[in-house]
Amino acid sequence: MTDKPSLLFMSHLHPPQDNPLESIGGMQEVSQQLLHHLKASGTFEVHEWVNHTAWKHIGWSTAGYLAKSLQRVPALIKQHNIDLIVCGSMVTAAISPVLRAMGVKVPMIAINHGQDVTLPVSPYQWWVPNVFGALTRVISVSEATRLQSIARGLDPSKAAVLPNGIKLAFARRMPSQMEAKSILSEVHSIDPEKPLLLTVGRLVERKGHAWFLEQVLPNVQTPVQYVMIGEGPQQAEIEQAIEALHQTGHHRIHVLGRQVEEHVHHAYAAADLFVMPNISVDGDMEGFGIVLLEANAVSCPAVATYIEGIRDVIDDGVNGVAIEEGDSDAFAQSIDRLLSDPTQLKALRTSSKQRAETFEWQVLVGRYESCFLDTLMG
């Protein structure tokens, strides 16, 4: 027996147990890391009820998981004397109004990330205010996500903002920048002598890849190589933009697709600048910006659009340069300025790493636990 509070952690989307790199995105990474650190901390007696699935099966798998949860969650509450339920996303929390109707009185918290609030599906948006009503507290990973939640019916008194954390152990194992560039040159034929710009993320509209290729990169005067890691529905449009740029420009672009975690980490370490050229898209949003902080962790500063959840991550002049949305000239000029000023770039590399360290999970898990305990105390 234990006198610790008993916590049930729920998530509809963790990677398959036999393929831990499958389905990994920001939301999934946060869910896994938070669960891991809650278990390691020992403040709570942690029980988990999570769905392990590949992204390609997410629709049917999530529906099945939520349906099974209506029986499983009440049973787990009784079996383990659960004091608090934590849902890793709003999708997982979608059953909370039904659980309340079934008589579940345990406090319930949801952590929301952005797209799980703004998802442009009419039935889902109709249901979201009911979910907010059933939850005891909602933790948003950025102020932008909190505001989107309030706009959809969340009582502001239930709202809290806690940032995503990142794991930094990888950064301490990384080689020097020149060694990392040499490794990339062997694996992906990247020129180790040429400045390297890097983007990591799904190839979706809000990430701004096409806008960057069409509106920013042609105006960058310094010859660079731009490396994109990720895959997604904008692949064809991006390839068209690359073809046009290769015909007229002096830059080289490498689309590497999805990469194993080690190769992504080496790309962070090799990059001179991380670029995050996001644009606003109705029904979608950047809830935070974990990849930017991961780049910072290996001393790579960023040039990023100052919108949505990125506002909570980028600190202009500390871990990079913040650019107003759509200002392609400022974006290009900032890249040229940093690449031509080794002293400023070196200073930013140092302060970028220091900022990333403030987001380490070992630092943040205590803040999450304090919020959980405050919720229990009413």
Predicted pLDDT of residue 22: 47
- Tens digits of residue pLDDT in 196-236: 999 999 999 999 999 999 999 999 999 999 999 999 999 99
> What mean pLDDT value characterizes the chain?
92
Residue 24, pLDDT score: 52
Report the CATH number of the 6-165+361-377 domain. 3.40.50.2000
Scan for tokens 């109705």, then name that residue: 282
Confidence of residue 2 (pLDDT cuts 50, 70, 90): low
Give the pLDDT confidence of 129-142 residue by residue, as tens digits. Answer: 999 999 999 999 99
Residue carrying the six token digits 């997410």: 58
Stretch 101-105: mean pLDDT: 97
pLDDT at residue 124 greater than cutoff 90 = yes
Q: Cα 355 vs. chain centroid, distance in angstroms?
A: 17
> Tens digit of pLDDT for each residue in 296-332?
999 999 999 999 999 999 999 999 999 999 999 999 9
Q: Do domains 6-165+361-377 and 169-357 have the same CATH topology?
A: yes
Residue 217: what pLDDT?
Answer: 96
pLDDT at residue 158 greater than cutoff 90: yes
Q: Alpha-carbon distance 36 to 320, whole Å?
A: 30
Quick one: pLDDT at residue 114?
A: 92
How far is 338 from 86, CA to CA, in rounded Å? Answer: 43
Please give the pLDDT value at position 1: 45
Q: Per-residue pLDDT tens for 245-278?
A: 876 778 999 999 988 888 999 999 999 999 999 9
**Which CATH code for domain 169-357?**
3.40.50.2000
Look at residue 274 and give its three-state secondary structure: strand
Specify the pLDDT at position 260: 86
pTM of the model: 0.91
What are the start-end ranges of the H helices in the chain? 26-41, 58-80, 96-101, 115-118, 122-134, 143-151, 169-173, 177-188, 209-211, 235-248, 261-270, 290-297, 328-339, 342-357, 361-377
Provide the residue ranges of all domains of the chain, joining segments of one domain with +.
Answer: 6-165+361-377, 169-357
For residue 377, give the amino acid letter. Answer: M
Residues with Cβ within 8 Å of 289's Cβ and at least 6 positions away in sequence, in order, are 276, 304, 309, 310, 312, 313, 314
